[in-house]
Amino acid sequence: MPSTFQSETGQIGSMLLKHARDAFIDQATIDEHWRRLNFLAPPDSDEALREYDAFAELLATFDIEMHFLPKNATCSLDSIYVRDASIVCDRGAILCNMGKPARRSEPAACRSGYERLDLPILGTLEDDARIEGGDLTWLDSRTLVIGEGYRSNAAGIAAVRELMADCVEELLTPPLPHWHGEEDVFHLMSVLSPIDEDLLLVFSPLLSVPFRQRLLALGKTLVEVPEEEFDSMGCNVLAVAPRTCVMLDNNPITRKRLEQAGAEVHVYKGDEISRKGCGGPTCLTRPLARSL
């Protein structure tokens, strides 16, 4: 089957990750930094390692080739959420320029990972051009969405538009809400997760009306996350193949709605690696090649 980097729902062939042992380091590091990074609570180091091992074992059942970034002294606990530091297209990788100051070193740390994989670096965002990977998603292989908010700004979107000019036919740039403010962990993928090219999981109360209408006009079926499962990251779901997905446990209503829409749902326990840092399975992974 042909493969592409410009998909969120094709069968994942390879991905970039960072293990909890190399992001969290140890309990002393967690205890020193979790407040500054706006974690909800300090993760338990030992339990985080167990959760991450189980998460990786689940991903391995889908025959995904996993490449782990090494420990890096310049990076924080947030580096476990590897999606945000880079974005990919069929021409190569773009190293982001993080909107959260404490994460500014992460894109450079990703470079060595891509070099080991012989994946070209298409560009590096700099100066006032800000992009985080959680604000960007492919609706199909030629339609890209970048949410404009506190983490990704107009200058960053313009830079990505130029770098990906020959890869994208339509670029949608919906504004993101203020929600809980500038320090909150909020990305486009907090409110939208592609499950298949025609099926999206969404939290409509935080979608702009024009953007939601555009999704419907593109023929997308929207599965709605209930309000009571938004804070537990019910909307943060990783498609590992068309209509096959991984999500945090304890979101039963969202899971049932996905299954009723024809999706196969797998869950993992992520109290330490996901809930306390507000980063679900899409945040924990940077999918690379996907089969179409």
Per-residue pLDDT tens for 132-165? Answer: 999 999 999 999 999 999 999 999 999 999 999 9
Which residue matches tokens 């499950």?
195
Per-residue pLDDT tens for 81-129? Answer: 999 999 999 999 999 999 888 999 999 999 989 999 999 999 999 999 9
Predicted pLDDT of residue 186: 87
DSSP 109-164: HHHHHHHHTT--EEEE--TT--B-GGGEEEEETTEEEE-BSSSS-HHHHHHHHHHT
Predicted pLDDT of residue 43: 98
Across 7-12, average pLDDT: 98
Predicted pLDDT of residue 185: 76
Integer CA distances (angstroms), 48 to 36, 43, 54, 67, 275, in order: 19, 7, 10, 19, 11
> Is the pLDDT score of 181 beyond 80?
no
Q: Judge whether 244 and 19 are in contact, CB under 8 Å.
A: no
Per-residue pLDDT tens for 26-80? Answer: 999 999 999 999 999 999 999 999 999 999 999 999 999 999 999 999 999 999 9
Domains in the chain with CATH codes = 3-291 (3.75.10.10)
Predicted pLDDT of residue 2: 81
The secondary element (H helix, E strand) that includes residue 56 is: helix 45-60
pTM for this model (two decimals): 0.95
Across 177-198, average pLDDT: 89
Predicted pLDDT of residue 184: 77
Per-residue pLDDT tens for 243-285? Answer: 999 999 999 999 999 999 999 999 999 999 999 999 999 999 9
